[in-house]
Amino acid sequence: MRVFNGFDELLKAYKELGVWWIFTKREFVNNSKEDISTGTFYAPENDDEEEESYETLSTWLETQTFEDIIDNKLKHHPEASRDDLIEAAIYYLEMDDFLD
């Protein structure tokens, strides 16, 4: 299991996360900029780790969806800030759509 402490660490590895879900702790609030900024993210590296994560953690985003959110935002706004990328993730979680 790969563990990322905060959004910055997750962002650095977003192209290398594999094909599973990104998990968070159960108390994580999906639309909280603070939780996303400083929260702990977990990325399974195999099916067994993913299966175990469903029992103890909460799903946040599928890894491919997270990659698409970041790529889409950077495609439309190459100079997007970290906060812009967090807002794009929140927008997707709330609207099930990409923020251009």
The answer to whether the CB of 99 falls within 8 A of the CB of 87 is: yes
DSSP class of residue 41 equals: E
Q: Which residue has the higher pLDDT, 83 or 19?
A: 83
**38 HSE (CA, 13 A, CB side):** 4
Q: pLDDT tens digits, residue range 53-71?
A: 999 999 999 999 999 999 9
Edge-first strand order for the sheet with 2-5 is: 2-5, 40-43, 21-24, 58-62
Cα–chain-centroid distance for residue 16?
12
Contact in structure between 36 and 7 (CB atoms under 8 Å)? yes
Single pTM value for the model:
0.93
Question: What pLDDT sits at residue 19?
Answer: 87
- Which pLDDT tens digit goes with each residue over 68-86? 999 999 999 999 999 999 9
